[in-house]
Amino acid sequence: MTYDEILTKYEPVIGLETHVELGTRTKMFCGCKTDFGAEPNTQVCPVCLALPGALPVANRAGIEATIRIGLALNCDIAEWCRMARKNYFYPDMPKNFQTSQYDEPLCTEGYVDVTVDGKEYRIGIERVHLEEDTGKTLHVGGATGRIHGATESLVDYNRAGIPLVEIVTKPVPGLGTLAPEIAKAYVAELRDIVRSLGVSDVRMEQGSMRCDVNTSLNLPGEEWGTRTETKNVNSLRSVERAVRSEIIRQAGILDEGGKIFQETRHFQETTGDTRPGRSKETATDYRYFPEPDLVPIAPDPAWVATLRDSLPEKPSSKRARLRLDWGISEIDMQSVANAGAVELIEETIAAGASPAGARKWWMGELARRANEQDVDLAAVGATPAQVAALQKLVDAGKLNDKLARNVLEGVVAGEGDPADVMIKRGLEVVNDTGALTAAVDEAIAANPDIAAKIRDGKVAAAGALVGAVMKTTRGQADAKTVRDLILSRLGVS
């Protein structure tokens, strides 16, 4: 069966659990720093290493950030709740339990609206809760970096205890063939909302935002099927691919009369399908109980009201406002948002480029490069200020389009700002009339037949001479100037 055929027979139900690593200066329950990329095991202390007798104290900034995320997702904020111990045994978790939340989450009952193909879908948010991250295990000596074949395993506890917020949707039925696209649109919108709050850098490729995708299939009118959970899907594109491939895999099994088992699966970036992981624990396996070492969280309603009043403009409202400012269609704005280019274009305009000029570079040449290198647009190697400077050189007639692309290539390669690259690579448009006139005269002398035609009034034939001049100047002449010069040298204008 093709994907479309599968969805005439089965109905998918999806659900998403997203972990966001907060950008607090210190960890959630101790004063250790959270700098990314520090020497292993240098940002640790008795609390986050769980040495005997160490006692945790909650980080107010972590609680505040979680409440702000909850408010931005239209949630109710608990007036009183507790942290809970989630018991499981992992070498990269020093306490051998995770301080998390269970039946008393900080935020509940919210929603996010997303637009796909011009239609709005409301994704219900079941809960937003606060927990801590684990450390990292590195398996060495093997070929694959996995534990299989490794000779030793090293543990880095720098990440252990960094605050994580988990955002869990309600199950979303009724999306049909659009389920993968809507899942991706939801994660993109969530990322934009969290980024607008300034509480996390939400970089999926660095793991500060990670997504687990639940998928099940059922026949129309029947109960929801058994779901699988695809873990740690690390890009927007992978969210879409993971849902689609899991729908296809499950349909294949169900069609042969097989059963779906509740399990975690791992998304394979290379093939786009999922592989089985461990069979899924249920809540009882974790033996949750209220954390006895921390006081309950009881945010003052007046404080919550202040946080609510200070929320930034919603990304969706901002997009609507910018769309009018930039004078583009809703579909074009949607592609800008999907490419993660809204802020980049906004900053490029603020640095002096026109909306059309800014959008052209980010959505054209730079988007193509980002796609080729499989990186986010923001990580492609050019800054908004550089793109604005490039466009100014074009506007000033110092670069034509082709030369500008060449300069941009140098900027992305780290050769410097556009003006420097233009000079270093010798790419400035030739405006020196003496040099151009010599090139024009040479082209006329080499093509007497064409020159005669032009003298007889067949001005359209000038194109061939323009081409010849552009070739000798290696594309560095302005085509219109060349054309005018040819006509004037031949006495036609």
Size, binding site for Zn ion by CB under 5 A: 5
Over the Cα atoms of the chain, what is R_g? 29
Amino acid at 462: A
Site residues for Zn ion, 24-53, by CB under 5 A, read 30, 32, 45, 47-48
Using the minimum distance from each CB to Zn ion, give the nearer residue, 24 or 228: 24
CA distance 64 to 362: 34
Using the minimum distance from each CB to Zn ion, give the nearer residue, 45 or 419: 45
Q: How far is the CB of 90 from Zn ion (least distance, A)?
A: 18
Q: How far is the CB of 155 from Zn ion (least distance, A)?
A: 15
For residue 31, the tally of other CB atoms under 10 A from its CB is 12
Using the minimum distance from each CB to Zn ion, give the nearer residue, 39 or 372: 39
| Contact mark string toward Zn ion, 47..86, x via CB under 5 A | xx--------------------------------------
The three-state DSSP-derived secondary structure of 174-191 is: CCHHHHHHHHHHHHHHHH
Q: Are strands 228-233 and 263-267 parallel, antiparallel or unpaired?
A: parallel
CA distance 59 to 161: 11
Can you read off the two tokens belonging to residue 41?
A: 């095991």
Q: For tokens 């140098």, what's the residue? A: 410
DSSP tag of 54: -
Q: How far is the CB of 259 from Zn ion (least distance, A)?
A: 45
For residue 87, the tally of other CB atoms under 10 A from its CB is 14
What are the Cα distances from residue 281, in Å, to 104, 166, 171, 284? 20, 18, 19, 8
Helix axes 315-326, 179-197, angle to 10 degrees: 90
Q: How far is the CB of 36 from Zn ion (least distance, A)?
A: 16
Using the minimum distance from each CB to Zn ion, give the nearer residue, 94 or 357: 94
**Cα 407 to the center of its chain, rounded Å:** 26
Q: How far is the CB of 29 from Zn ion (least distance, A)?
A: 8
Q: How far is the CB of 119 from Zn ion (least distance, A)?
A: 47
Using the minimum distance from each CB to Zn ion, give the nearer residue, 34 or 230: 34
DSSP SS3 for 405: helix
Q: How far is the CB of 46 from Zn ion (least distance, A)?
A: 7
What are the Cα distances from residue 112, in Å, to 95, 109, 192, 335? 35, 11, 11, 19
Using the minimum distance from each CB to Zn ion, give the nearer residue, 32 or 345: 32
Q: How far is the CB of 32 from Zn ion (least distance, A)?
A: 3
136 contacts: CB under 8 Å, gap ≥ 6:
92, 155, 156, 158, 159
Using the minimum distance from each CB to Zn ion, give the nearer residue, 32 or 128: 32
Site residues for Zn ion, 150-189, by CB under 5 A, read none
Using the minimum distance from each CB to Zn ion, give the nearer residue, 47 or 112: 47
Amino acid at 440: V
Q: How far is the CB of 161 from Zn ion (least distance, A)?
A: 6
Backbone angles phi, psi at 121, to 5 degrees: -125, 135
Using the minimum distance from each CB to Zn ion, give the nearer residue, 157 or 186: 157
Task: Name the residues that contact Zn ion, by CB under 5 A.
Answer: 30, 32, 45, 47-48
